Structure formats: C-alpha cells, structure tokens
Chain A
C-alpha cells in the first residue's frame, strides 16, 4: 500500500493530538486551581467578616459593661459585706444557748468559765446523786466531759467541776 500522507502532515496530526491533550489537562488543572483559590479566599473572607462582627460585638458589650461599672462595684461590695456578716455569725459561739443549757433546776451554776472551744462549769447540788445526774445530763450534750473536781464541805455542800468541749448538737 502506498502511504499518501506526507511526513509533515503526519507530524502535524501528532502535534495536534498532543496539543489537545495538553490543553485539556491544562484547563482542568487551571480550573481546579482557580476553584481551590476561590474556595480558600471565600473561606478566609467568611471568617474575616465573622471575626470582625464578633470583635465588634465584644467591644460593644464591653463598652456597655463599663457604663454599668457602678452597678458592678456595688454588687461586689455587697457580696463582701454579706460574707463578712455571714462569717461573723458562723464563727461566733452561741454563748446564750450554752449558758441556758448548763442551768438545770436544783443545781445552780456557781462558776462558769467560757473560752473558745472549751468551758468550765461548777454546779452545786444537795447530794452526790444529783451531781451524777447532772454529769449524765451534760454528757448527752458534749462529746468531751472531764470531771475536774468533786468537793464537799459544810459551807458549800456538794460541788462538781466539769470541763466541757465538743457540743454535740447546736
């Protein structure tokens, strides 16, 4: 068979084929690149706008809060004052309740020495059984009851001296 296509024409055909392939791939790559760039800048623009908006909002809220700084100072001061009141009340021992608790009829308190955390009470009674009864009563209310002294003489009669600490219920 005789090849009628000239060498030049053959080369041109080959070249045209390559040109098509390269151009198509280049267009594809360019398209992908442009889409990626556009997506990136779109993302960047979105977040920049969003950040600007949130910064503006934060700044405006801060400004409003600064304008209400007197309210804030008042709220902080009243908390501190209320805390001082509550702490003082929580830390003070109920001396009134303690003093009432120690008094039992027929067993007068002749001495009472209240100190932070402990107290000494001296009661007098007609007989030792009454003192024992008083000790039992006190033991119900204090976790630590130490009998310091039990005395009897003709002048004062029976007396019981107790050192108390650790109130069971307040």
Chain B
C-alpha cells in the first residue's frame, strides 16, 4: 500500500519511537502540571516519616516512664507532702501548732489575730483565678505571748520551724518580756494539670525526694 508515493509497510517501525515519546511526554506532563501537588505530597514523605519516628521515640521514653510509676508509692509520698503543704487553709491546725509551740517553749498566749480569707477547699480540678489566689494567698496569724524571756522566744522559733504543716515566721517583735509573732502557714490550692500526650513527663523524683527529706524530721500535727 502506498501513501503519497511512500510504502506504508516501510514506515510502520516509526510508531515505536512515536509511542515512546508520547508516553514520556504524557508521563512528565502528569508530574509537572496536573500532578505537581501529588508529587509534593510524595516528596514530603521522608520528612514526615523522620518527624514521626522522632515523635515515636519521645513517646516511647514517656511511656516507659509512665509504666515505671509506682502509683501506690507516689500516692503515699503525695499524702506526706500534703501534710507539709495542705491544699487549703487549715486555720485550726495552725492554732494547734501555735499552742503546741507555746507550751514547748514555756510561754502563754495572750491573743490571736488571724487573716484567713477564703478557706473552702479547692477541688483537684479547680483552676483558681490568679487575682483570687493573690488576694487570699496568705494564711497569716499574729500571736501575742506574755511573760516570756528571750530564751523562750528562741525555743518558740525552734518549735515553730519543726512543725507540719509548714510555718514561716514573718515578723517577731520582742520587747519588755512580751513577744508578738506573725506567722504564715503554708498551703497551696490544687492546680489543674495540663496533660497532653505529646508533653514530656516532668522529672519528679529529685524534687519529691528533696521535699520529703526536708520535711521527714518535722512533727505532724494531727488533723482536727
């Protein structure tokens, strides 16, 4: 068969390179025009995978730490820490502490004056508003002791500092055998803990052990 004076059978082989060229053009066109987005998606995979592998490694570390937690032991430690710094203002405990200290120091209490504020117990999940916390942050009590020598004051200071819940002596005015002592009792409301899966678990052992060691020798006033 002849077309424009050329034998068609002699040129059939040309279809092979033409088909290959068409295939290459169509393929490249897919990647470079319509398929750019999918190409981007494909190329981003190594980066994503590396990030995920890194995340997995961090999560694994966290998971191992969580598995290693001995909840019973931690709850026991928490109880001890709550005795040192309770979650609410315990004004009656503070009074008991002051009475005990006074009797240990051989002093008699003449008067009390307390600044207590809100004493209701915050729940574990409560998030106190910052202004609220600042306004009612302190549990402060001023005590006047009569007929006391300076040696009695020394004993009183010693006694106050070895009690749980923790007490801070804010001011002391000792004059003419009369001592006026202002103390602040430790307390800290429950704070909500934001626990996100991706967040690192804090290293708690060192801080907890330090707190327990510092308070283990202190005398606990039994709850009222």
Instruction: Find chain A residues with CB under 8 A from B208 CB.
Output: 78-79, 82
In the assembled complex, the Cα of A66 lies from the Cα of B168 at a distance in Å of: 40
* Shortest distance between the CB of A89 and any CB in chain B (Å): 5
11 residue pairs of the A-B complex, CB under 8 angstroms, read A65-B197, A74-B69, A74-B74, A76-B193, A82-B204, A85-B166, A86-B211, A95-B161, A99-B172, A110-B150, A113-B173
Instruction: Find chain B residues with CB under 8 A from A69 CB.
Output: 195
Instruction: Find chain B residues with CB under 8 A from A86 CB.
Output: 207, 210-211, 214
Whether the Cβ atoms of B63 and A65 lie closer than 8 Å is: yes
Whether the Cβ atoms of A85 and B52 lie closer than 8 Å is: no
Instruction: Find chain B residues with CB under 8 A from A61 CB.
Output: 56, 59-60, 63
Could you tell me which residues of chain B, from 119 to 154, have a CB within 8 Å of some CB in chain A?
124, 150-151, 153-154
Which residues of chain A have a CB within 8 Å of any CB of chain B?
Answer: 12, 15, 19, 22-23, 25-26, 29-30, 33, 37, 44, 47-48, 50-51, 54-55, 57-58, 61-62, 64-66, 68-86, 88-89, 91-96, 98-100, 103, 108-116
When C-beta atoms are compared, the residue in chain B nearest to A112 turns out to be: B174
Whether the Cβ atoms of B174 and A109 lie closer than 8 Å is: yes
Whether the Cβ atoms of A37 and B27 lie closer than 8 Å is: yes
* Shortest distance between the CB of B213 and any CB in chain A (Å): 10
Whether the Cβ atoms of B85 and A29 lie closer than 8 Å is: no
* Shortest distance between the CB of A93 and any CB in chain B (Å): 7
